[in-house]
């Protein structure tokens, strides 16, 4: 009986952290909640109409409903979830599911036509494009967001870092908080003689990809670990699973520093550093400074771009972006129309949800281009 | 009907023939699926194996951007954590199994068995989360104490203690395997210290940077395999004939002497099998290990308080964002794990068969 009693507090802690559990785990499974392709097509065939915006709830759920499935980037998941809820209020006939799993999984799922749209923080690689079963794809940028350098040292509430210093810290050239390089970035600050604990992602991640791409560009010559969704971190560093996992280790480890997206850093109550941008100014990561980063970017015709290391005084330099990727040719009329109207929502009305979620909306010019690109989505008659 | 001789191959009984083919079909289907899995996995791991060659198994750099994949640290991590887990779990499991079968009053027996079996069905992610959220934060201080304590002792002390315990065990019974291992190990440690002036134990129990390490993974895995080993050991021990036990007791043996003389010799093979099954589970465990092992790259070290990584943990962590060659490397890891578990199981069944043959021969 004693054994049982002792088990109870453990159980309670576990229930309380249920949400964290989901964030900590790599969701390696395919989206199981998707009904079989054929059955759904047949159901739609009977009806053959576009979803009516603002319509009443379907009487039985037998006819009329369209289900869209998306997967991929966990970075944009917060925005997807908020949008799905708001969009659902307006168009009750369209049900949208967005499963995370990471950008790579999203792109793979779309390539295999398992999902209707993919969320991704980076584009398809050139050789992989040919493997996409549904033909050419279109990229729709939907948001920008900052990656913070979150840290945990008692007595230091304000920290400034230059890209070279960040590179030095993350490749373990700089091992103490009172190192000359850090002191040089923080004139007059009192830094403790404490060891630095570097925390990075253990899972392959778009955040790692963008963070290392940034260091590769902004700390050229200093940064030696190259860039990618996983890189060869030094052995004496710590790793956590997902943004929440990194945040959890930083929270519980004195002297720790890690890269975490802004919303997770805020949710965990972490302190984060201001980072020196191209103009030489130290800027704090906020939705506004990320939006400022978006103003200086160059966008290609296919709407691919990078918001990393931008120009401008007020830009936060480690700002990255996320796209929704869809096939240019939509073979199913009802689903195609639903995809288009949801994309339109994400690009226009939904944008006002972003600041509250600690993301930055698209700059006006980019937004206009993206909305114009909606016409390129061809829906079968 | 009743007078007809029973025949397995008789064509007159259609149900029997049908059942026979169904059984053969099911059995060969299992083999077929296993074979196909092995075939496709090996096939998909060829790109990385043809590029890295044997370096895949012997080098320690794992860098997707550079296209270098050396799996040695992950193979080491898998084996090391599994060994730690088994070393921690076996004494506990054996003690619990003996308590349940030989010591506990019948009233206590059933609830105990129930609780331990319940532990076996707890999903591994629960143990993993408990490990990362509760255990790893607190256990670091324990690690630090152990390291400080071990480092503060004179270098010859621990080898001598180990040697003394081993020698003591050997004095009571010359056949004690544990005694031999401890005595020889202690002697080797002492020799190494006398020759090099360095002491191994502080290296094995190194300074702990944080609570997620080989040792933490070992502890969590140990908790997970205790129920398996316990329930198998319990069943094996319960097959000891009552006459054997009564004979020992009748000769004036104490309970412990009876266990040594009757229970252990009878169930040795089964116990080894139970331990090997536990080892297999510990090596394949994914999520719990991935959460608490620390996910450090390139660690091939005896320091059990260092962060490391294991094969299943790497696969789970990196699969989602892996590109072509990286993916092939992860599949090659899976093939390696597959091979290692097969080897462990082969060794296990060989040991079981040998000790069973021996006990049958002696009986």
Predicted pLDDT at B358 = 67
**Alpha-carbon distance B96 to nearest alpha carbon in chain A (angstroms):** 14
pLDDT in tens, A332-343: 999 999 999 999
Integer Cα distance of B255 and B129 in angstroms: 40
Predicted pLDDT at A299 = 86
| Cα dihedral value A19, A22, A24, A29, nearest 10 | 180
pLDDT in tens, B150-162: 888 888 888 888 8
pLDDT in tens, A89-105: 888 789 999 998 888 88
Asked if the model's pLDDT at residue A50 lies above 60, the reply is no
Whether chain B has a CB inside 8 Å of the CB on A278: the answer is no
**Alpha-carbon distance A224 to nearest alpha carbon in chain B (angstroms):** 11
SS (H, E, C) chain A: CHHHHHHHHHHHHHHHCHHHHHHHCCCCCCCCCCCCHHHHHHHHHHHCCCCCCCCCCCCCCCCCCEEEEEEECCCCHHHHHHHHHHHHHHCCCEEEEEEEECHHHHHHHHHCCCCCEEEECCCCCHHHHCCCCCCCEEEEEEEEEEEEEEEECCCCCCCEECHHHHHHHHCCCCCECCCHHHHHHCCCCCCCCCECEEEEECCCCHHHHHHHHHHHHHCCCCCCCCCCCCCCCCCCCEEECHHHHHHHHHHHCCCEEEEEEHHHHHHCCCEECEEECCCCCEECCCHHHHHHHHHCCCCCCCCCCCCCCCCCCCCCCCEEEEEEEEECEECCHHHHHHHHHHHHHHHCHHHHHCHHHCCECCCHHHHHHHHHHHHHCEECC
Integer Cα distance of A183 and A168 in angstroms: 13
Asked if the model's pLDDT at residue A27 lies above 70, the reply is no
- Which chain A positions have a beta carbon within 8 Å of B318's beta carbon? 203-204, 230
Whether chain B has a CB inside 8 Å of the CB on A253: the answer is yes
Integer Cα distance of B283 and B286 in angstroms: 8
Give CATH superfamily name and number for B80-155+199-313: MetI-like (1.10.3720.10)
The bridge status of strand A319-327 relative to strand A282-283 is: unpaired
Contact B125 A204 (CB under 8 A): no
Predicted pLDDT at B273 = 86
Partner residue opposite A25 with nearest CB, options B287, B298, B321: B287
- The β-bridge partners of A199 are A238, A258
Domain boundaries, chain B: 80-155+199-313
Integer Cα distance of B158 and B188 in angstroms: 12
Predicted pLDDT at B230 = 93
Residue B91: phi and psi, rounded to 5, are -60, -45
- Residues of A (58-117) whose Cβ lies below 8 Å from B: 101-105
Contact B320 A105 (CB under 8 A): yes
- Which chain B positions have a beta carbon within 8 Å of A125's beta carbon? 323
Contact B317 A252 (CB under 8 A): no
Contact B296 A233 (CB under 8 A): yes
Asked if the model's pLDDT at residue A8 lies above 80, the reply is no
Residue A324: phi and psi, rounded to 5, are -105, 130
pLDDT of chain B along its 363 residues, tens only?
Answer: 455 555 555 556 788 889 999 999 999 999 999 999 999 999 999 999 999 999 999 998 998 888 899 999 999 999 999 999 999 999 999 999 999 998 889 899 989 989 988 888 888 889 989 998 889 888 988 998 998 888 888 888 888 888 899 888 888 877 777 888 888 988 998 888 888 887 888 888 888 777 889 999 999 999 999 998 998 899 889 888 899 999 999 999 999 899 988 998 888 888 888 898 899 889 988 888 888 888 888 889 889 998 899 999 999 988 888 878 899 999 999 999 999 988 888 888 887 787 777 666 554
pLDDT in tens, A184-194: 999 989 999 99
Asked if the model's pLDDT at residue A33 lies above 80, the reply is no
The yes/no answer to whether this complex scores an ipTM above 0.95 is: no
């Amino acid at each position: 009986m004693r054994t049982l009693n002792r088990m109870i507090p453990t159980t309670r802690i576990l229930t309380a952290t249920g949400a964290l559990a989901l964030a900590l785990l790599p969701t390696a499974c395919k989206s199981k909640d998707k009904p079989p392709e054929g059955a759904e097509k047949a159901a739609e065939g009977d009806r053959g109409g576009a979803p009516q915006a603002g319509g009443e709830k379907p009487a039985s759920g037998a006819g009329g409903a369209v289900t869209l499935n998306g997967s991929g980037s966990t970075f944009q998941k917060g925005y997807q979830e908020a949008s799905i809820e708001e969009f659902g209020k307006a168009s009750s006939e369209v049900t949208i599911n967005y499963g995370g799993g990471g950008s790579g999984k999203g792109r793979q799922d779309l390539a295999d036509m398992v999902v209707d749209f993919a969320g991704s923080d980076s584009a398809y690689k050139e050789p992989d494009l040919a493997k996409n079963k549904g033909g050419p794809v279109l990229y729709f940028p939907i948001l920008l967001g900052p990656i913070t350098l979150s840290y945990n040292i008692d007595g230091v509430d304000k920290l400034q870092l230059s890209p070279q210093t960040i590179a030095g810290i993350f490749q373990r050239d700089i091992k103490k908080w009172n190192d000359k390089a850090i002191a040089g970035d923080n004139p007059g600050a009192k830094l403790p003689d404490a060891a630095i604990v570097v925390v990075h992602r253990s899972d392959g991640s778009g955040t790692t990809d963008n963070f290392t791409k940034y260091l590769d560009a902004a700390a050229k010559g200093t940064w030696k670990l190259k860039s990618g969704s996983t890189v060869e971190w030094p052995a004496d560093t710590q790793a956590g699973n997902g943004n929440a996992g990194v945040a959890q280790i930083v929270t519980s480890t004195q002297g720790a520093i890690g890269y975490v997206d802004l919303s997770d850093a805020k949710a965990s109550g972490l302190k984060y550093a201001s980072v020196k941008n191209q103009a030489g100014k130290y800027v704090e990561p906020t939705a506004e400074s990320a939006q400022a980063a978006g103003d200086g970017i160059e966008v290609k015709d296919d709407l691919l771009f990078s918001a990393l290391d931008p120009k401008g005084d007020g830009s936060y330099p480690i700002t990255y972006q996320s796209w929704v990727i869809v096939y240019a040719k939509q073979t199913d009329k009802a689903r195609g129309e639903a995809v288009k109207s949801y994309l339109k929502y994400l690009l226009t009305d939904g944008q006002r949800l972003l600041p509250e979620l600690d993301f930055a909306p698209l700059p006006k010019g980019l937004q206009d281009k993206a909305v114009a690109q909606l016409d390129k989505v061809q829906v079968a008659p | 009907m009743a007078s007809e001789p029973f025949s397995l191959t008789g064509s007159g009984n259609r149900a029997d023939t049908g059942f026979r083919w169904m059984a053969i079909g099911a059995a060969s289907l299992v083999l077929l699926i296993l074979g196909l899995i092995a075939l496709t996995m090996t096939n998909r791991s060829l790109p990385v194996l043809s590029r890295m060659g044997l370096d895949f198994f012997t080098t320690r750099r794992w860098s997707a951007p550079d296209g270098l994949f050396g799996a040695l640290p992950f193979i080491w991590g898998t084996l090391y954590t599994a060994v730690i887990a088994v070393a921690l779990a076996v004494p506990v499991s054996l003690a619990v199994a003996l308590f349940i079968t030989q010591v506990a009053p019948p009233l206590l027996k059933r609830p105990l068995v129930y609780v331990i079996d319940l532990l076996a069905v707890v999903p591994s992610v629960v143990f993993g989360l408990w490990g990362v959220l509760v255990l790893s934060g607190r256990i670091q201080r324990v690690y630090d104490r152990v390291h400080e304590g071990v480092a503060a002792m004179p270098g010859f002390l621990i080898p001598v203690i180990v040697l003394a315990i081993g020698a003591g065990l050997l004095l009571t019974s010359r056949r004690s395997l544990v005694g031999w291992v401890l005595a020889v190990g202690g002697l080797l440690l002492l020799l190494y210290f006398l020759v090099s002036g360095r002491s191994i134990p502080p290296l094995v129990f190194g300074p702990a940077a944080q609570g997620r390490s080989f040792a933490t993974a070992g502890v969590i895995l140990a908790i997970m395999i205790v129920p398996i080993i316990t329930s198998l050991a319990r069943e094996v021990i319960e097959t000891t004939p009552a006459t054997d036990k009564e004979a020992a007791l009748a000769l004036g043996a104490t309970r412990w002497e009876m266990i040594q003389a009757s229970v252990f010799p009878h169930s040795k093979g089964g116990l080894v099998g139970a331990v090997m099954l536990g080892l297999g589970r510990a090596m394949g465990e994914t999520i719990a290990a991935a959460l608490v092992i620390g996910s450090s790259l390139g660690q091939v070290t005896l320091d059990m308080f260092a962060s490391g990584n294991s094969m299943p943990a790497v696969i789970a962590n990196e699969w989602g964002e892996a590109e072509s060659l990286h993916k092939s490397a992860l599949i090659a890891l899976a093939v390696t794990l597959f091979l290692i578990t097969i080897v462990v199981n082969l060794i296990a069944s060989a040991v079981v068969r040998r000790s069973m043959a021996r006990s049958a021969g002696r009986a």
